[in-house]
Amino acid sequence: MDKILISAPAERPLDMPVQALRLWAGKRASAGGLRGVSAARIFVFGLTALLTGLGTYGMYQVISPVNVTSLQVIFAALFALTFTWISFSCASACFGFVKLLLGQHRMPCLAPLTESGRTALLMPVYNEDPQRVFATLWRMGEALIGQGAGSQFDIFVLSDTRKDEVARLEEQEFRALARNLAGRLGVFYRRRAENRHRKAGNIADFVTRWGGAYEHMIVLDADSDMSGETLVTLARTMAADPKAGIIQTLPLLRNRWTPYARMMQFAGRVYGPVIAAGLAAWHGRDGNYWGHNAIIRTRAFAEAAGLPELTGRKPFGGHILSHDFIEAALMRRAGWAVYMLPCLGGSYEETPPSLIDLAARDRRWAQGNLQHIKIVGARGLHWASRVHLVQGVMSYLASPLWLLLLVAGLGLATVARYAEPNYFPTGFSLFPAWPVFDPALALRLLGVTMVVLYLPKLLGLILAFRDPELRAGCGGVAGLIKSVAAETLLSMLLSPVMMMIQSRFVADVLLGRDSGWNSQNRDDAAIPFRTVLRRHIAHVAAGAAFGAVAFITGWTTFLWFLPIVTGLVAAPLVSWTTGLPGLGHWLWRINVFRIPEEHAAAVPEPSVEDELETFLQAAE
């Protein structure tokens, strides 16, 4: 039986029927439109098609002989798929840049606070640090009280913790929080005896027991933080928009000090708004949900978003892991609007402190997104919801596609180097059939690819230069330029490693290996070098193999593969150093990877002895 400590409101249950994916008898109601959404979609999808067509045609010209081989067809097809992926991101960012440059971001209509209804602030936890979680909830509770909204909000801590010692600390911290906010804001705690369906089941349990008492619920993650003004604005926006089902904020990354985390925080702060503005523009009210830092209409969620069990064995069968995309699709299918407010601000989360920690989280996400292959064809879904699901799948399939593209390209180069060309094929011909490979065209195509890949970063940098507050918070013009250069270099080194890691994840899923459910590391603690080396030794071997084959094939091929080879061979060193908190503090002091959300007075300054000890401990 579930354990409820101290107090809980009287249960006001809502029925939450399981939704059928293969059946849909209803008609999808309009969620209301926003002006310019059609134009945004025409621009984004049209530019994606144009860029992909031009890039694929350019690749065909680079490799096209008179007699096309099957290997060349495979290579061109893989190139087209991967180029479509980066072209879509570029096109979306371009439209977002124009929207932000022209100041065309819409602020929501707000209902009076007294008419906003009651909102539950939900904090699901699973073996998290109770002190950190409850300290954040205390800040959010005080902020809500400061906004005069204490009577409109209640805080629920929904625990799925399995470790009894952690649960005891949760109870202690809960009692302290309840005492501090007593009489000013309701605080409740519930721990499930059985964590069925993980976070999705945790939220569903709240809805079916207490959901009837609240018009809205704001769902958090254990590392979420939101300002009181943002929380109140979400509730007032939802109350003013009777067709809104989910309103998503743009969570910014902060609070981490390793170089890897600081790189991600800077990238999210400078490039993120451009990408988010583009997404919000073409999504319109047919958008997506990221599972946290969003407000949901409780009764609509109960009626439309009950998740079914997927048929078959794990990892494709069983309960739905990446539930947020599916809940958004089901809500939209039922006629509720799902949209994002990227310019709202005051919404934060944290990033894993190292590449290894990111990989541990990414394994579960890979399985969850690949599950969507079974759901993308569900009856009644809006076409935009299907696009969101395909994007989730492609976010992980892109890595093995890139790996296959590299292998096919290396195979083509090897064949061109060692195979005897057939200058006079069978049949009448006035001229020999010379193999075609145009180095100048190849370099031009590489340049186009780099522009498509890095243009969103350049657009984000331009907007950062124009924003005095952001520019100053990132260390001025010099700080921005140094940070973008460092982020670009580190991304180039880490990208091949992530390609190998995610390719392994996809292979694991296809081989039927379940990810399980492990709690996430949120501490800035350096990982011993030998541990990092053990995790990356296969990547070093792969890099050496790529380099050896490319070198034997020829200097030109080797130079083309040099960035990939360098990233893989250097993986242990780069992964280890980017996980050192002391190095992150040093980067902050030299004005690299700063963000406005941190202030000099709040930045801890470790002594030289502390940093030296950190380096020595990590090297053990």
Which range among 62-66, 218-222, 554-558, 600-604 has the greatest average pLDDT?
Answer: 218-222
The mean pLDDT of 456-485, rounded to a whole number, is 96
403-451: pLDDT as tens digits: 999 998 888 888 777 765 555 555 544 444 444 455 567 778 888 889 9
Work out the average pLDDT over 1-23. Answer: 80
Among all chains, which residue has been given the structure tokens 């492609």? 394
| pLDDT reported for residue 325 | 96
Neighbours of 507 (CB within 10 A): 11
User: Residue 617: its pLDDT value, please?
Assistant: 53
Check residue 542 and give its pLDDT. Answer: 97
The identity of residue 455, as a single letter, is L
Confidence (pLDDT) at 516: 66
Cα–Cα distance measured from residue 280 to residue 249, given in angstroms and rounded to the nearest whole number: 10
State residue 606's pLDDT score.
Answer: 47
What is the rounded CA–CA span in Å between residue 458 and residue 454? 7
Q: Residue 341's pLDDT band (boundaries 50, 70, 90)?
A: very high
Q: What percent of the chain has pLDDT over 90?
A: 73
Nearest by Cα to 416 from 57, 58, 71, 55: 71
Whether residue 158 is predicted with pLDDT greater than 70 in this model: the reply is yes
CA distance 243 to 297: 9
> DSSP secondary-structure letter at 134?
H
The pLDDT of residue 299 is 98
Residues 6+ apart with CB under 8 A from 135: none
pTM listed for this prediction: 0.91
Question: What is residue 426's predicted lDDT score, i.e. its pLDDT?
Answer: 55
Q: How far apart are CA 82 and CA 399, in angstroms?
A: 9
CB count within 10 Å of CB 172 equals: 13
CA distances from 206 to 192, 432, 593 (A): 10, 74, 40
- Classify strands 244-249 and 216-219 as parallel, antiparallel or unpaired: unpaired
- Cis peptide bond prior to 251, omega within 30° of 0: no
What is the C-alpha to C-alpha distance for residues 288 and 308, in angstroms, rounded to an integer?
A: 19
pLDDT, tens digit, 9 for 90 and up, residues 569-585: 999 999 999 999 999 99
Q: Regarding predicted confidence, which is higher, 571 or 74?
A: 571
285: helix, coil or strand?
Answer: coil
* Residues 6 or more apart in contact with residue 542 via CB below 8 angstroms: 500, 568
Q: How far is CA 261 from CA 185, 253, 336, in A?
A: 34, 9, 36
Domains of the chain (ranges plus CATH)? 3-8+18-22+109-255+286-352+369-396 (3.90.550.10), 38-102+436-619 (no CATH)
Query: Which residues lie closer than 8 Å to 205 by C-beta, 6 or more apart?
Result: 158, 190, 192
> Residue 5: what pLDDT?
47
**pLDDT at res. 65:** 54
Question: Which residue did the predictor score with more confidence, 618 or 71?
Answer: 71
Residue 239, pLDDT > 60, answer yes
Give the rounded percent of residues in the chain with a pLDDT score beyond 70.
Answer: 89
What does the pLDDT read at residue 525?
81
Strands 216-219 and 294-297, sheet pairing: antiparallel
Average pLDDT score over residue span 332-347: 95
604, 513 Cβ separation under 8 angstroms: no
What is the reported pLDDT for 470? 95
Q: Angle, to 10 degrees, between the axis of helix 555-569 and the axis of helix 476-510? A: 90
Count Cβ atoms within 10 A of the Cβ of residue 513 and give its class: 0-12 exposed, 13-18 middle, 19 or more buried. middle
What pLDDT, on a 0 to 100 scale, did the predictor assign at position 432?
47
Question: Cβ neighbours of residue 136 under 8 Å, at least 6 residues apart?
Answer: 224, 225
Give the per-residue pLDDT at 430.
47
pLDDT category at 23 given cuts 50, 70, 90 is confident
**Which ranges of 211-257 does DSSP label H, i.e. alpha helix?**
228-240
User: Which pLDDT belongs to residue 444?
Assistant: 80
What is the distance between the alpha carbons of residues 87 and 45, in angstroms, rounded to a whole number? 9
